[in-house]
Structure 1
Amino acid sequence: PATAEELAARIAPAVVTITATDGWTGMAGTGIVLTSDGLVLTNHHVVSGADEITAFSAATGLSYDVAVNGYDRVHDVAVVQLGSARDLPVATLADAEAPRVGSAVTAFGNADGGGVVVATPGTIVATGRNVLVRDSADGSRHRLTGMLQSDVAIRPGDSGGPLVDAFGAVVGVNTAGAIAEDPAETPVAPEAYAVPISAAMRIVEQIRAGTGGGTVHVGPTPLLGVRVTTVREDGENRGAEVLWVSFDSPAEVAGLDIGDIITSFDGKPVASNGDLETLLMARRPGDTVEIGWRDKTGAAQTATLTVESGPPR
């Protein structure tokens, strides 16, 4: 096993700090360098919604523009590429499926967005945990499955960084912002969760192969330009009501307005916001599709629009 100083010397160069911005708001995170030419593994929530992403490598002393190659929002994994990167130190990944309970681990990350890679030691508490997590950017919650649980004191900005074993091999991808099953409960001891590296790498390889599908999206993110919510009538989902329309977006150009209810997309029925999201994510920027909706008078409307490129989400 390596000493704390040896671990830091070995791991920190293979880590990048990430800054993702959306207009006036920003998100700090961390990335794990997988290849010397700048392929990086991080969390989806680090880059979600960002229109500009940069990364800094302490190993080279350089900042890089970042492009998102693909992501899996359900499993909170994203793969990004650092522009013009070369000769970056690469992280060593663990071969085992999961570390044993009681194993010593150390989390490395951009703690509190300080721009410096910080090491935080701890111990594996459990494996295969299902947990409710909260996005520190917008407060939204969703469930992650099969996670590693540790007592490492993860902080905002550590998201996407490596959780390493005593020998410096990456066993997981840190995911900050874990909360209790009951929102009223507050963990007394540090409670952190990480995506097992084996699960994360299966998603990485799917993205590298260019084979999107299931919960994995590959390539630029399609943009419709609306925010919607599911309409329920008589206990059934009846469509996706438009809550907000972006200026000069494909949706606005097509004639959609607040209060309209989207009922079809790309020739397929839309009963919920989830249906619309799934159908949209199956398309690529530049695709032409037909969309159908009921306007505020109840009249049926259809239009053909061209999907644009937007931020990852």
Structure 2
Amino acid sequence: MNAKTWDKIATVVLYIISMLIVVLLVGFIGYIIYNGRDSLNLHFLTSDSLVDQAGGGIGPQLFNSFYMLFISLIITVPIGIGAGIYLSQYGKQGKILDFIRLCIETMASLPSIVVGLFGLLVFVNMTHWQYTILAGSLAIAVINLPSMARVSENAITAASSKVKEASLGLGSTEWQTIKKVILPSAMPQILTGIILAAGRVFGEAAALLYTSGMSTPALNYNNISLTNKMSPFSLFRPAETLAVHIWKLNSEGMVPDASKIATGSSAVLVIMVLLFNFLARFIGNKLYKAYSGK
């Protein structure tokens, strides 16, 4: 067979592999949503699960997941982007930079259960905070920082190769070039890293079992405080996230309709991840067009 024939065969094989991945993803998502379809209603999303009653919901767990997402991104995004800027623009190639990259790769390969035990030792016991939202957010930040730093570094390096010399040649300083030219151009790729970081918050359970806990106290939604444990916005209260709640229902089954709540929670979790991905992509494209003048 000649080269054109082999090229056609390779193209067909790659198309088949791509379609197989899409089919598997659609089948997986469809199966989860179909099984949990009966729970996709406002009552389920806003009510609480009671130990001795059926028909509960995931209101507190859903709120905890979004709140922990917000807190963890506040910690992860500035540090991750700052690390990416240093690695791509300011760090000099050599043993020190290689050692930093080795540390980042090592952190990225740590199992989440190990990070959870580290969080239990440092953020829970040594600080005497006990199980708190802040401890869980810091543990998630430890998991997400390596990937956020590498994504930011690659995005900034790729963007700077096209525009950095032109900007410096026009008289801009290096920081002005990074702030006004490179970062806007790299924003879609950086948002991809933020999406990955957000997905870990929604899907992570092992690390949060040891840091944020498996319970949520009775909350007073009229109390807006960052320290009062009765406030939903408190950083120093235990918080059971949606992923932990699913694990707890499947392992302990403390409510009469635990299986139904677990399947409904799984469907909500998948839908939230999909919505966040689509929204982030949409915002990223808008930001890129705004900064690039398209």
User: What TM-score comes out, normalization by structure 2 length?
Assistant: 0.23
> Which protein has the bigger helix share?
2
Indicate the structure whose relative CO is greater, using CA pairs within 8 Å and at least 6 residues apart: 2
Q: Which of the pair is proportionally richer in strand?
A: 1
